[in-house]
Chain A
Amino acid sequence: MFGRMKDAMADAAETLRQAFAGLKVVQVEAEPFALGLQAAPLLLAEPRAGLQVPEAPLRILQLLREAAQGRNMESFQAKVEGEAGWANWGAEAEVVRMEPLESGRATRMAVPPLPRKVQALGRHEPLAPPATRRAAESLARPALRRADPTLPAGLALAGLDTMLSLAVPIQAENTQHLPKGMWMRYSLQLVRGTGENVRNLEVLGLFRIPRKGVADLRHDPKQGRILVRLEAAALKAPRAPFILARRKDDGGLVSCFVEDP
């Protein structure tokens, strides 16, 4: 606190010293104001040639007449004026007299405290958040449509006729597994049915086929089976053992149904 006061006093003293350094103080006595004498020019009569209309004398006479009647006359008021500035005119500077500093006459001055925080100028202001604005028009609600992904079940159709047009392979039964007596019975029926000598016949197989409705029959020797083409009547016809044989002499095929015992 005292340090600041001391510095302030020192600054004031230095300021005063620099302000009055080099100035020359001159005291000038004021001179009496003297009015200068001026001579008025003499009136002269200017001779003019010829006869002229006496305009000016008439106007002057008019004025004199009005003055004599007390009109258009201004009253004079005496007034003495002086200029005090003349006394200081020509001086180099105005005389300033400072009262000497005396102890005890100084008034206490409140020294404003220095700001504790300096305000920084020129800083970047933070960006203001953008104003939110609402879109003028809201989107129209779309129309809802349904696309059914369900797969159609399809219509089931009867196609047995189509299936019957295809040849049905029927495997030959293994005659080795048949009882010997049954096989002999079958052989006898084959001879009777075909009228062939049993020694002239080569049995190609024993098949179980429908007793009715067989439209076509072909032998597949490679796989030991027959291919039959059936008619609708074959579906409900009972299955019966059927022997297919080949004649050894001419290779012709013979066949007959045999009866189960």
Chain B
Amino acid sequence: MAESIKLAYFMAVKEGASYLGGLLVTDTSGIPLDFRYTEPITPTRLQSILYGKSLEPHLKEEVIQKTLLKELKTPPDLFILSATELAGGWSGDAKYPVLAVQKSQESPLGRVGEVFRAGPREVLIQLADGAAPLRAIFAASVDPAAQEQAVVKLVEAGYHMDLTEPLERVTAALQSLVVKEA
């Protein structure tokens, strides 16, 4: 059951004047199943002026993210990104529940698997005994029913892996790729 869950971790970084993104698909143990990344995209000066402040969100959501998702052979069960990206107004994709996960400083909820709804789009999930619960923040496009289904998958995957760690791996991989091309 747990083996069928696929988690997609998306991260886009800016290196100098270039943007590149990576998408890592893992199983519930955190073992990579697929990893795709984009070539660095360097906007021209004219494009930077014309897009203004919308350049970075547009690049990350419309260009990099969609390019990477097209390359996936099988759709992921959850689309996870950093809380910073989600707070920037991520629109999300209806096909995949989009959410951000981060470690919290809250007190343990009690038993493993307990869920506390902290807001319409935010839940706390207890994944390990005695540890601080995991905070999951859903995109605005994810309805409550989809959130409930996503929480079940998070609990199942969190039993085997650290759900926040793969984002660090994606960032490290992108940085190593930038160094290689430089």
- Chain A residues with a Cβ under 8 A of chain B: 147, 149, 151-160, 162-166, 168-171, 173-174, 177, 208-210, 225, 230, 234-235, 239
Question: Which of B20, B30, B63 sits near A151, CB closer than 8 Å?
Answer: B63
Number of interface residues of B (CB under 8 A): 45
5 chain-A/chain-B pairs, Cβ below 8 angstroms: A147-B46, A153-B63, A156-B36, A158-B34, A234-B31
- The A interface is mostly helix, strand or loop, or mixed, namely mixed
B146 shortest CB reach to chain A, Å: 26
Those of B26-59 within 8 Å (CB) of chain A: 27, 29-41, 43, 46-47, 50-51, 58-59
A149→B64 contact, CB < 8 A: no
| Interface residue? B106 (CB, 8 A) | no
Given contacts A151-B63, A162-B177, contact A157 B29 (CB under 8 A): no
CA distance in complex: A177, B112 (Å): 11
* Complex interface: chain B residues within 8 A of A163 (CB): 24, 32, 35, 169, 173
A147 to B46 Cα, complex, angstroms = 8
Contact status A156-B38, CB under 8 Å: yes
A162's nearest neighbour on chain B, judged by CB, is B173
Q: Do A157 and B32 form a contact, CB below 8 Å, given A169-B162, A174-B129, A208-B160?
A: no
Known: A157-B38, A208-B160. 18 other contacts (CB 8 A): A149-B47, A152-B63, A154-B40, A155-B39, A156-B36, A156-B37, A158-B34, A159-B35, A159-B177, A163-B35, A166-B169, A169-B165, A174-B112, A174-B159, A209-B31, A230-B31, A235-B32, A239-B3
**CA of A154 to CA of B41 in the docked complex: distance in angstroms?**
6
Most buried by B among A156, A165, A171, A208: A156
Residues of chain B within 8 A (CB-CB) of A157 are: 36-39
Q: List B contacts of A159 (CB < 8 A).
A: 22, 35-37, 173, 177
Among A151, A170, A208, max chain B CB count under 10 A is at A151
Query: Which of A149, A156, A164, A170 touches B68 (beta carbons < 8 Å)?
Result: A156
Given the known interface contacts A147-B46, A149-B47, A149-B51, the answer about A154 and B33 at a Cβ–Cβ threshold of 8 Å is no
Residues in A with CB closer than 8 Å to B15 are none
